[in-house]
Amino acid sequence: MSRRSFLRSSAVFGTGLAAIAAGLTPLLDIENFPSLQEFMQKYYKEMTPEEMKKVLERIEREVEKQYGIRPHVRDLKPMDGVEFVYCLNLSR
């Protein structure tokens, strides 16, 4: 490898690295970035009962922490042909 090709390759690599860093910069401003558990949560219909229990417990903890009340969260299964809609009842 000649000095010229090394410098050219280094310049291209540095430019690419700077472009990637600039592209990822907006991620630093995200305030409500999901937790690892939220990110890894599967689609509702694919969840096992154990996974659903963990998700509902996490939701209860988050609601209690944010609103200071103990919510009653439950898993209502949709009827066939009906899409699931997430509902949260915060009544005391």
What is the C-alpha separation between 14 and 84, in angstroms, rounded? 47
pLDDT of 8 over the 60 cut: yes
| Coil, strand or helix at 7 | helix
| DSSP state, residue 28 | G
pLDDT digits (tens, 9 = 90+) for 74-84: 887 767 887 66
Token reading at 84: 């699931």
Residue 61 has pLDDT above 60, yes or no: yes
28 vs 67, residue with greater confidence: 67
Residue (of 44, 55, 50, 48) closest to 77 by Cα position? 44
- Tell whether the model's pLDDT for residue 67 goes beyond 90: yes
pLDDT in tens, 11-56: 888 898 888 888 887 777 777 766 766 766 667 667 888 988 988 9
Q: CA-based angle 62:28:39, to the nearest 5?
A: 40
Per-residue pLDDT, 83: 67
Listed by start position, the domains of the chain span: 1-33, 34-92
Cα–Cα nearest to 58, from 84, 79, 88:
88
Is the distance from CB of 73 to CB of 52 less than 8 angstroms? no
